[in-house]
Amino acid sequence: MDCWTSKNQLPFQGVIANWIDSNYDARSVVIDLSILQGSHTGKRLAESFIEVLDDFEITRKINAVTSDNAGNMDTFFKKLEDTLQSRVSYYNLAVS
């Protein structure tokens, strides 16, 4: 996942899914590239990210999320953790 603001001040969100298919081949595909509604708060980014996961019905398949060290990522991971734990009992996210 990555978010950025374009030169014309449009906030974008991109989400890439990576997985190993049944033939053990590494796969990667862009599953979201959209204009982010609202500001880049950690809470809003988590809500938007979860919407993408829900759209593709992959919420239970998340193994890792890679992000930068932006200040809003602490809030993002807390909101993501709270949401996933409320839905799936075996999630125990380690944020470092």
Instruction: Count the Cβ atoms, other than its own, within 10 Å of residue 36.
Output: 17
Helices 73-87 and 42-55, axial angle in degrees (round to 10) = 40
3-state SS class at 82: helix
Confidence bin at 90 (pLDDT 50/70/90): low
| Tens digit of each residue's pLDDT (9 = 90 or more) over 79-89 | 998 888 887 66
Structure token pair of residue 78: 């807390």
Global pTM exceeds 0.95: no
Mean pLDDT of 1-29: 92
Confidence bin at 77 (pLDDT 50/70/90): very high
Confidence bin at 49 (pLDDT 50/70/90): very high
Query: If you average pLDDT over every residue of the chain, what do you get?
Result: 87
DSSP assignment of 28-64: EEEEEEEEPPS---HHHHHHHHHHHHHHTT-GGG---
Distance CA 56, CA 28 (A): 14
| Tens digit of each residue's pLDDT (9 = 90 or more) over 24-39 | 999 999 999 999 887 7
Mean pLDDT of 46-50: 92
Structure token pair of residue 31: 């599953």
